[in-house]
Structure 1
Amino acid sequence: MRRSFAFTCTLLIIGWLLVAIACVQVPAYTFWPATFGALTLPVALVLNLLAVGYWLLRNWRVATLPLLVAILTWPHFQRGLALHPLRVAPASTAPGQRVRVLSANVRIFNVYPQLRDAELNSSRQMIQWLADNPADILCLQEFYNEPRTSTSKEKNIFNSVERIGEQAGRQSFVSRTLTNRVGAEFGIAIFSRYPILRRGTVSFGKLSQNHAMWVDLRLPSADTIRVFNFHLQSMSLDERDIVDSYSSKAGFKRKGLGLMRRFKRGAVARSWQVDTLVRRFERSPYPLLLCADLNDLPYSYSYDQLADRFQNAWASVGNGFGHTYHGQVPLLRIDNQFAGPEWLVDDIWVHYEIPYSDHFPSTVTYRLPPK
């Protein structure tokens, strides 16, 4: 009787797991409830692994069923918790052109009063760290710049294009979404030590400041590559509300429904935004590298559309959760880098030692093998 109940539970877990995987592949703009079904995928994956352990102790023949499911769904497990304990980084003499790419949401360099600290130290240090960084390509979201023509009194601190770009030996491309009354610029940016041959932007509509940008770069190997930098629709969720919602039953009643409505609206926007980008990616004549603040989890339609077509850097070579969100909600990886099939991912590093923004930067070393 106990084994019959356990077997029924195992079948239910497998069914749940398959439905959750199906939900990941449904865009929220066609059926938004699938978004919340997809969020249960990590729970179903863990329960299936527990079922494997249970049946290995009880009946190894029955264990083959959840074990087979675990093997087939392992790439989905790796999306959230990457495990490569025995992996050794390739030698520096391995053939191919190496390219180091840093991606970071810099939170407008903490220019707003509620983000500032004494003497603007975090702003100075963040800009200086980026200027000194050895990466070949920098992709920055929530970028902020005060050019020399700005009337701001602090333009010598926030002249970020000049300091990260020209003074550091990099070419720059800033895609502006807003210029305020003192001439300061908001948007996203790409900085490159390689020559920028062409550039462009991808709009998500007049009602959204979120958008994408791209550049074509000429490498020393004479190869041309295309780099995309994009920032998808925000979750629009207040961190304090999230903590309150799961801290108590009353907190969930007070905050939970509002959070779910806002998450739904964001998921709908992100799903059609990523579909817009995928169509652009498919037209690229060059090897692709993608840097993004997805504002979405590895168990989402947005991530799935990219992971089905490209290598996720963390899932390929990382170890652990690789969380990039610097806040009270733990273990969230909402910032990602992806690479086309032509690339090899040699190494990835999330910079937990850089605490200036609410996102941790990440650096990935890619290698483009000789043709």
Structure 2
Amino acid sequence: MKKLSWFNRGMFFFNIVLTIVTFIAYILPFLAPKMFPILSVLTLFMPAFFIFNTLFFLYWAIQFKKRMVLSGLVLLMGITFINKFYKFSTKEYPEDEKDFVVMSYNVRLLNLFKWLDKEDVPHNILSFINDKNPNILCIQEYSHSANIDLKIYPHKYIYMTGNKIKTGQAIFSKFPIIDQGNIVFPNSNNNVIYADIKKGKDIIRIYNMHLQSIKISPDVNEISENIDAMNQGKSQIMLFRISKAFKQQQDQAEILKEHKRQCKYPVIICGDMNNSAFSYVYRNIKGNLKDSFEEAGLGFGQTYKFKYYPARIDYIFVDQSIKVKTFESFSDFENSDHYPIMAKISLD
């Protein structure tokens, strides 16, 4: 019994530490990363905090200990965050001829540098797009290298940058594009493009964003190696790199937010945010828009290939006047480090 008592004391100490860290993570979406750049990294691990607090709650509940109240309160206070991490159910809507489908996909230059040991990546991606047949397609990290045939889209806007290696953003549409443009971010190769699309009598502004990358490897083992290499300073370098990217993302989010504010049309924002749904950047860009995953998703909605962790860093946000009928994340389609996401929507 004494051993159990000492063990429980140790467990309760870690429970308290976890509670403090979780509360800090709850506050961070409301604080600009420039204020606490290192602490902002905690928002990446919010789902893990939920899981560990749940485990602590169950651990104390099994023993009928009052200490379970601590984790219970933490989970209760964070209940509004749950839908950003996992959706338990979704509504079903009837089909309507006014429905249209939007897809967003970071194609990682169509495997230009052979990150994947496959020769048929461009063909796979083209076949996937043709099969799903979205009305509007937003591509990040687009490349002309594979010369994929997207002639099913009579309207397109492609913005390429770079000298030796050309990369860019692309919007393909089955509806006419009546205006287009790009938002260049200072001191960054990342950007946002937009297109005003005419669907029937309506005009919709489509933004295709690609915010600053935090450059984390999809392999969790590499991160572990960085942490183990504390003496060599690798983990400090990684934290500095992430915090710097978060500060850049803050500036980029504010630029996009201001551009969106001046738009007179209903807005859809697609793309790779390179940040979690628990971040200040997410909250700033989303504003009063709807997150398609929260509206009609199911499960984890994973959009990035990260071992053992269902990362969601790609989004489709829609105007309040737009209804989201379905949302899908195709996490079994492994032809990039990101997964395609798709939403069926309609103008109310």
SS in 2 for 1:97: coil
Moved more, 270-279 or 306-315: 306-315
Report the residue type matching 2:143 in the other structure: Y
Shift of 1:138: 0.2
Shift of 1:313: 1.4
Shift of 1:75: 2.3
Q: 1:30 aligns with which of 29, 35, 43?
A: 35
Partner of 2:176: 195
Percent identity between the two aligned chains = 22
Contact 1:111/1:123 (<8 A) preserved: no
SS in 2 for 1:168: coil
Partner of 2:94: 91
* 1:8–1:249 CA distance, 2 compared to 1 (3 A): closer
Partner of 1:155: none
Partner of 2:189: 209
**Counterparts of 1:84 and 1:132, CA distance in 2:** 27
Contact 1:289/1:338 (<8 A) preserved: yes
Moved more, 167-176 or 231-240: 231-240
Report the residue type matching 2:111 in the other structure: N
1:124-203 equivalent positions in 2, closer than 5 A: 124-145=123-144, 158-160=146-148, 163-164=149-150, 167-178=151-162, 180=164, 185-203=166-184
Contact 1:108/1:143 (<8 A) preserved: yes
Partner of 2:244: 265
Q: 1:279 aligns with which of 242, 247, 258?
A: 258
SS in 2 for 1:278: helix
Shift of 1:346: 0.9
Partner of 2:199: 219
2:212 counterpart of 1:233: yes
Normalising by structure 1, we get a TM-score of 0.79
**Counterparts of 2:22 and 2:227, CA distance in 1:** 27
Partner of 2:222: 244
SS in 1 for 2:244: helix
Report the residue type matching 2:314 in the other structure: D
Contact 2:38/2:240 (<8 A) preserved: no
CA-atom RMSD in angstroms: 3.2
**Counterparts of 1:59 and 1:287, CA distance in 2:** 52
**Counterparts of 1:38 and 1:128, CA distance in 2:** 36
Contact 1:326/1:359 (<8 A) preserved: yes
**Counterparts of 2:115 and 2:19, CA distance in 1:** 46
* 1:144–1:329 CA distance, 2 compared to 1 (3 A): farther
**Counterparts of 2:214 and 2:308, CA distance in 1:** 13
Contact 2:139/2:208 (<8 A) preserved: yes
Q: Deviations over 1:320-365 (max 9, x none)?
A: 2211112546311121111121122111111234221111111111
2:346 counterpart of 1:343: no
Q: 2:292 aligns with which of 302, 305, 313?
A: 313
Q: Deviations over 1:145-197 (max 9, x none)?
A: 15xxxxxxxxxxx223xx21xx21431100111254xxx84210000011111
SS in 2 for 1:21: helix
**Counterparts of 2:258 and 2:54, CA distance in 1:** 36
**Counterparts of 1:232 and 1:25, CA distance in 2:** 19
Partner of 2:81: 76
**Counterparts of 1:349 and 1:357, CA distance in 2:** 17
Shift of 1:22: 1.5
Moved more, 50-59 or 37-46: 50-59
Q: How many residues are paired up? A: 339
Q: Deviations over 1:43-94 (max 9, x none)?
A: 444455557665698599x9888767645532212212x2233x3321114x
**Counterparts of 1:56 and 1:201, CA distance in 2:** 56
* 1:13–1:247 CA distance, 2 compared to 1 (3 A): closer
Moved more, 33-42 or 248-257: 248-257
Shift of 1:18: 3.5
Contact 2:30/2:280 (<8 A) preserved: yes
Report the residue type matching 1:347 in the other structure: T
**Counterparts of 2:227 and 2:140, CA distance in 1:** 36
SS in 1 for 2:212: coil
Q: Where does the alignment leave 5 or more consecutive residues of structure 2 unmatched?
A: none
Report the residue type matching 1:200 in the other structure: G
SS in 1 for 2:315: strand
Contact 1:244/1:251 (<8 A) preserved: no
